[in-house]
Amino acid sequence: MTINVKFDYNILCRKVLCEQLDAMGLEYSLLGVGEIILNKTPDNAQMLVITENLSAYGIEIISNQQIALIQRIKDAITLVVNGDEEAQKYNVSTYLSEKLDYSYAYLSNLFSETTHTSIENFVILKKIDVAKTLIIENDLTLTEIAYKLNYSSVAHLSTQFKKTTGLTPSSFQKIIKKRKEKVGYRN
């Protein structure tokens, strides 16, 4: 028997972090996604335990500040694309600048130098990933998906989808529908 599940990575990660940090008796505050403030600086032995306990869940402590900033950029973009209402009030550049307290030019240059892609391209890739998920998991129309992802039109979504995946969203929908029929999938 196969059971299909859907879960929120952010909620899952926060829960694991809280459980692990509580079990270690640490006083902490979780800031946005991927940021923890420890009320007391751990010694080297405690830091090793924290690192080992979190790595068992695939959570890595980032010591390089530039790499940490890149991760914060990615996390903020994920919030924007996944429909965080506060984040969607702004365009991506303004949101990133205000949230991360750096100029967009600095963030953009750092991101491009480190990841070898632009912030804009990363946003497109994230949007297309979300669009694919929405097509697979929901019975939304392409118009609804385009609206949900802040595209100006279905044509704009379709163009970016085709450039990224090699398929039109309609073709992708048909493939998914056939796969679901083949395995008897039900929502």
Distances (CA, A) of 121 to 15, 49, 111, 118: 31, 37, 11, 5
pLDDT 10s digits, 129-166? 999 999 888 778 899 999 888 898 999 999 999 999 99
Cβ neighbours for 59, distance < 8 A, ≥ 6 positions apart: 13, 16, 17
- At residue 69, the 3 state secondary structure works out as helix
* Per-residue pLDDT band at 106 (split at 50, 70, 90): very high
Q: Alpha-carbon distance 109 to 119, whole Å?
A: 9
- Residue 38 has phi, psi (to 5 degrees) of -90, 130
Domain 120-187 fold is Arc Repressor Mutant, subunit A (1.10.10)
